[in-house]
Amino acid sequence: MHPADFLVAKDFTSRAEEQIPPTPIEMRAMLLLGLSVAARGYTFGSRSLAVTSRAATPVMEATGPVCIVTGGSRGLGRAIALALGKEKCKVVVNYAASAAAAEKVVEEIKAMGGDGVAVQADTGTQEGIEKLFKATAEKWDEPVGVLVNNAGITRDTLVLRMKPSQWQEVIDVNLNGVFYASQAATKIMMKARKGRIINIASVVGRFGNIGQANYAAAKGGVIAMTMSMARELGSRGVTVNAIAPGFIESDMTAELPKEIVDGVMKNIPLGRFGKPDEVAGLVKYLALDPSALYITGHCINVDGGIAIGTC
């Protein structure tokens, strides 16, 4: 029953259960209440009315902007989606294959007062991006206000051993996908004369890494593209920034041998891996905070100091 339908049926119900005929005044009240309830799709039996708690909790309304988070079902993407959901945003949780994980993120977002929808789409293709934005438009009438390009993959190997497919798959998702999604968002945001695009890059895009020529090329391209797009879109009120995470805690880092972890830690001044929430916090700031409106075209490291001097 709708929260506005108070428990006026309580006394009538108990009387019906005791087989006491209702008075004419009670009959009139029951009829009026029945019309109100039926208008909302509820029904009740011939002898008694449906009774709900007087303390029914009203449904919380998501008041934040529509935010698309690519690769939002797991790891860093999940943390970003939840951070935005906590701020009552309407979050599109994009995923490639993890449907159950994406739906769980949506449930958590709704429990925090936001709204969400899980959308399967291959962000490495233009068709996939079109599907993603179409599903978003079908879910909410208001335009996309925030785009977080987080989806990414790795196909690590040395240059001499790298197959064309290993190169192309990483470039498609990590670079081309960012372009396709940003281009789609740009058309919407320029018309609205506002919007925020946040691209998740990597410190590897700043200084390279052995066995990651494809990944470094893609992330370096994202950083350069961020600066170019910021120059193009600034006059229309759209900000474009990138975030370059360092080593962030994940299922993958949890399985690294201790000797490798120790070797990495020696190069991190803060002496630890970062946490997904620490990256998500910066995304939330760039996406929602009014004071971030004068920040555009920058790539900010969240890396514990491993890439000091590259900003």
* pLDDT band, very low/low/confident/very high, at 33 (cuts 50, 70, 90): very low
3-state secondary structure the chain: CCCCCCCCCHHHHHHHHCCCCCCHHHHHHHHHHHHHHHCCCCCCCCCCCCCCCCCCCCCCCCCCCEEEECCCCCHHHHHHHHHHHHCCCEEEEEECCCHHHHHHHHHHHHHCCCEEEEEECCCCCHHHHHHHHHHHHHHCCCCEEEEEECCCCCCCCCHHHCCHHHHHHHHHHHHHHHHHHHHHHHHHHHHHCCEEEEEECCCHHHHCCCCCHHHHHHHHHHHHHHHHHHHHHHHHCEEEEEEEECCECCHHHHCCCHHHHHHHHCCCCCCCCECHHHHHHHHHHHHHCHHHHHCCCCEEEECCCCCCCCC
Domain boundary among the residues 16, 42, 58 is at: 58
Q: What is the pLDDT of residue 3?
A: 41
Residue 120 domain-assigned (yes or no): yes
Is-catalytic flag, 215?
yes
Among 21-25, 74-78, 215-219, 229-233, which is the least confidently predicted range? Answer: 21-25
Residue where a domain terminates, one of 58, 82, 98 = 58
Does one domain contain both 45 and 148? no
Task: Looking at the structure, tell me whether residues 43 and 71 fall in a common domain.
Answer: no
pLDDT at 52 over 70: no
In a domain, 311, yes or no: no
- Give the pTM: 0.80
At 296, the pLDDT band (50, 70, 90 cuts) reads very high
- Within a domain: 13: yes
pLDDT at site 21: 52
Do 90 and 25 sit in the same domain of this protein? no
Question: Do 219 and 260 fall within a single domain?
Answer: yes
Residue owning tokens 């951070």 = 83
pLDDT at 15 exceeding the cut of 70: no
Q: What is the pLDDT of residues 170-229, one digit of tens each?
A: 999 999 999 999 999 999 999 999 999 999 999 999 999 999 999 999 999 999 999 999
Evaluate whether residue 310 is within a structural domain.
no
Q: Is residue 23 part of a domain?
A: yes
Please tell me the predicted confidence (pLDDT) of residue 119.
98
Number of domains in the chain: 2
Q: Which residue has the higher pLDDT, 105 or 310?
A: 105
Are 43 and 85 part of one and the same domain? no
Q: Using one digit for the tens of pLDDT, what is the confidence trace for 113-166?
A: 999 999 999 999 999 999 999 999 999 999 999 999 999 999 999 999 999 999
Residue 108 lies in a domain: yes
pLDDT at 305 over 80: yes
- Confidence (pLDDT) at 82: 98
Tell me which of 42, 95, 215, 294 is the catalytic residue.
215
pLDDT score recorded for residue 210? 94
pLDDT level of residue 37 (50, 70, 90 thresholds) = very low
Task: Tell me, yes or no, whether 307 lies in a domain.
Answer: no
pLDDT surpassing 50 at residue 311: yes
pLDDT at 255: 80
Question: Same structural domain for residues 120 and 217?
Answer: yes
* CATH code: domain of residue 265: 3.40.50.720
Is 70 exceeded by the pLDDT of residue 39?
no
State the pLDDT at residue 237.
97
pLDDT score at 59: 52
Same domain, 45 and 188: no
- Is residue 275 over pLDDT 60? yes
Residues 46 and 180 in one domain: no
* Mean pLDDT confidence for 107-112: 98
Are 109 and 245 part of one and the same domain?
yes
Let me know whether 71 and 31 are in one domain. Answer: no
State yes or no: pLDDT of 36 exceeds 50.
no
Q: Confirm whether 308 is domain-assigned.
A: no
Whether residue 15 is found in the same domain as residue 112: no
Single residue among 58, 78, 106 that ends a domain in this structure:
58
Are 50 and 73 found together in one domain? no
Domain that residue 5 falls in: 1-58
